[in-house]
Chains A and B, each alone.
Chain A
């Protein structure tokens, strides 16, 4: 659905994106993560055909973004991190205006406004002026405006920033619903825990380059192991590292953390082997690997 090849974006004297290449499958929800200044917003703006890259190719739903930006605008919805709203309009007027901007036929405008208001639970607020809305409702309205034309692709830059936990849960649910409807979603966020709930893929951007692209994270979920030793943890670290299924491991005092991609039998074998070697283990736990673990393990790789 989204294919990026050798994308380079430059500001005067600085490369914001360095030869970025990746592809995102249709119907996925991709978490775009990385530290501040990594180039996430620049990448999203290039994908949305708002900023023109220095070189490289972007194809969205089969459309060359640099050659036909206007066609791309029709098939995607984008919500920037610092989006604005028309404060003096009512919520209904905002949604109607958004429908007109996206050339939704007159006879479908009201139906579409009603539908998107329902999806975002905005019905009680339709007659209210935007300036009277709280942060959470403003965020919902922003998302509603971005998806009113039912785009194939939705790009969201920090959509949950500043939301209370209830609103975040509601937005997670919305993303799952949108994915079920067949939309491809790219979400940039700092809050990895919230992405956990709905992301299928993860794209890690650091210093303008892709450092990791995990596809289908939910199906190929690795385990995060934590082995606590009474003493001599460093002696057993090489044994763990060499074991089949261990993708990476770190030693922190008497604790070894490992990313484990093997199955339950292999996990049992690992424990058996360590006990057979006489390892003074005083604690062992395993849990499904979280995006945060993946992200942090990538940081340690560097």
Chain B
């Protein structure tokens, strides 16, 4: 059976005989020195800490960087079209890019991984050891997968620009996402920590049932990695011009809404709070997804026109496929806001929706202007002005009511201001659409 061509190419580049020998020798020496810091190698915290740190440096720092630049380097070097025109499937590209560039870092990473798990086996066993080992491995994979996934989104949004793409922001995004699952892992590795057993057996309540924290985190990490790999696969399909229906995105949003809904404390004795608290985390999560997809998805006026054209020609599945994902995410957000608004004592979620609508309209105003070179950046600038500078001005002028005009809340002034601003900016965006968007020159 032939090895994945992309992995093979990276093996040619990364695995020189010199490097093959140097890596285990250097790592072995560092670990031996760390081990000598204690009398008993097997019980040495210095050894464990060193192994975990080396794993972090090799897999998450070096490997994360390699994963982030796996596709970016191809784009920068103008070799990406060559790969896209090949017979490789989206899975081949997913696996090749995920493990190809970082293959050498895994070569060293797995050595220190085994050392760290061996060291920790002195104080953990059974399910605890398994969770530790699994989380350590998964968090490394998540960093790399998240770095690759976010870099692919950047490639999708590139729109033919010829400036070089740098991997640092996407590597950082990977570290942030992977960091969520490393917290517990790293914590356990801190030496001289008191009451270690209690920390290991923390429980978490999810939909009213108590789960052991480490097991819960391990499963969550596995699911997160699954979503990231699915996301990379979907992005690769898009790169290969294969159909990418929005079902994956909708499934992703609904899954995490459902997942986050499980963390609400059981307040069934107080129905008004129960509904409010049960829905709030999913609502804010969906709102975050709405903002992320609106600002990160590379939609243009051409995409809108293609979507409308497909709709008019009754090619509904095509229109659904082309449709910008924010359009599909918005109703989910709105439904949650209305559900919370109608079933609890608060309607401030509606205030958030008014302001979100306004923000999306502002982005459209700039995106619909063909002269604007960076509409997303311009929009972010004006949103910072609206959300930070103006409220700060009212604060220093001691006009607390003025603050309500620019910050979502359940106060009438805020709701009225939000709805009016949304209406004004939508109107402006529509006039821009009629002027620039309806027809190309």
Contact = CB atoms under 8 A, between A and B. Distances in A.
* B partners with A: yes
B81 A55 contact: no
A89 interface: yes
Contacts of A103: 86-87
B86 A13 contact: no
Given A13-B370, A50-B241, A54-B302, A97 B5 contact: yes
Nearest to B369: A13
A167 B83 CA distance: 26
A42 to B, nearest CB: 10
Contact of A100 (B5, B74, B240): B5
B243 to A, nearest CB: 9
A284 interface: no
B81 A83 contact: yes
Interface stretch (B7-15, B255-263, B350-358): B7-15
Given A10-B302, A12-B302, A54-B302, A69 B86 contact: no
Given A50-B85, A83-B82, A70 B13 contact: no
A285 to B, nearest CB: 44
Contact of B85 (A10, A78, A86, A88): A78
A93 B160 CA distance: 29
B441 A14 contact: yes
Contact of B79 (A84, A102, A149): A84
Contacts of B383: none
Contacts of A145: 82
Given A10-B302, A100-B2, A49 B440 contact: no
Given A12-B302, A54-B306, A100-B8, A106 B82 contact: no
Contacts of A48: 85
A193 interface: no
Nearest to B302: A10
Interface string A67-91: 0011001101110101111111100
A50 B441 contact: no
Given A69-B242, A97-B9, A14 B81 contact: no
Nearest to B160: A11
Nearest to A11: B302
Interface in B80-106: 81-88
A119 B13 CA distance: 27
5 contacts: A12-B440, A14-B370, A78-B81, A89-B13, A93-B9
Interface of A: 10-15, 48-50, 52, 54-55, 69-70, 73-74, 76-78, 80, 82-89, 93, 97-98, 100-103, 106, 145, 149
